[in-house]
A = this chain, B = another copy of it.
Amino acid sequence: MDYFSGYISNLIEQLSSLPGIGTKTAQRLAFYIVSQPEDKARHLAESILEARKNVRYCKECCTLTDAEKCPICSNPRRDKHTIMVVETPRDLAAYEKTGKYEGVYHVLHGAISPMLGIGPDDIRLKELMTRLAGDVNEVIIATNSSLEGETTAMYISKLIKPTGIKVTRIASGVPVGGDLENIDEVTLLRALEGRTQL
């Protein structure tokens, strides 16, 4: 890309190293950024630096935050006796958006994946077990419904069962608004197995 200039090419290269951003998107973003007023570009650059500098793991739930405890763990109205286990802070965000979950979270930062060489020690499982020594009524496992997510869910439930704490798994089934004819067989079977009485 020597047909732009060094600085713009460098910005395009930096942007295209971000996940899911290809060269074309990076170009679009770079030209947008350099066409904006200088203080808008500065705000963006500063927000990157500040977020990176101040980021840390919540000492309770291990989500990414900028204080010792994240806003959810430090909220006295959240039910600390119910812990939902998720893979990433983005999954936490997804459940928060429902506005209905009142418990707290535990962010694993990944899932067990023998194929990728990610074992139980590579995710924040030890921290979860430490929390269970406290007063916990239920652990809701909300890892993804993928092979890795299911493996992780199985592993965690086996780990927790001996402690006598209730372990549940979020339901798998037909998405709301989903058209049955377009849904894969595995999901259809799961939905059948998980049927509830009306």
Contact = CB atoms under 8 A, between A and B. Distances in A.
A154 interface: no
A192 interface: no
A11 B38 CA distance: 17
Contact of A34 (B32, B42, B55, B96): B55
Given A51-B8, A64-B34, A44 B3 contact: no
Contacts of A42: 49, 52
Interface in A19-55: 19-21, 24-25, 27-36, 38, 41-55
Q: How often does this chain occur in the complex, in copies? A: 2
Contacts of A7: 47, 50-51, 54-55, 66
A161 to B, nearest CB: 30
A14 B47 contact: yes
Given A19-B32, A28-B90, A89-B31, A5 B67 contact: yes
B71 A3 contact: yes
B66 A5 contact: yes
A70 to B, nearest CB: 7
A65 interface: yes
Given A19-B29, A41-B49, A51-B33, A6 B90 contact: no
A93 interface: yes
Most buried by B among A5, A19, A53, A66: A5
A38 B53 contact: yes
Interface of A: 1-8, 10-11, 13-15, 18-21, 24-25, 27-36, 38, 41-55, 63-67, 70-72, 88-90, 92-93, 96
Listed from nearest, the 9 A-B pairs whose CB atoms lie closest are A41-B52, A5-B66, A11-B51, A45-B45, A34-B55, A5-B65, A7-B51, A14-B47, A45-B48
